Amino acid sequence: MKVKELRELSNDELISRRRELRKETFNLRLQQQAGSIEKSSVLRSHRREVARIETILSERAQKTAA
């Protein structure tokens, strides 16, 4: 997902998306260790998307605190 699309989601949707991505990342890491992963670039894109989501959530938290 792009940043613009992520910003349109609610906090609950972002949190659930982050949870899903972390589970998928964990499974991909297991596959990577077993040597059965086909696309290693997916792992990197998942990590980046989790970072984007966490950035958006922290920005929103700072706005509400201020």
Full set of structural domains in the chain with CATH? 3-65 (1.10.287.310)
pLDDT of residue 37: 85
| pTM as predicted | 0.90
Residues in the chain: 66
Write the CA distances from 1 to 9, 46, 48, 65, integer angstroms: 11, 10, 10, 27
Q: What is the mean pLDDT of the chain?
A: 94
Per-residue pLDDT tens digits of the chain, which is 66 residues long: 889 999 999 999 999 999 999 999 999 999 999 988 888 899 999 999 999 999 999 999 999 998
pLDDT of residue 63: 93
Contacts of 45 (CB under 8 A, 6+ apart): none
pLDDT of residue 24: 96
pLDDT of residue 58: 97
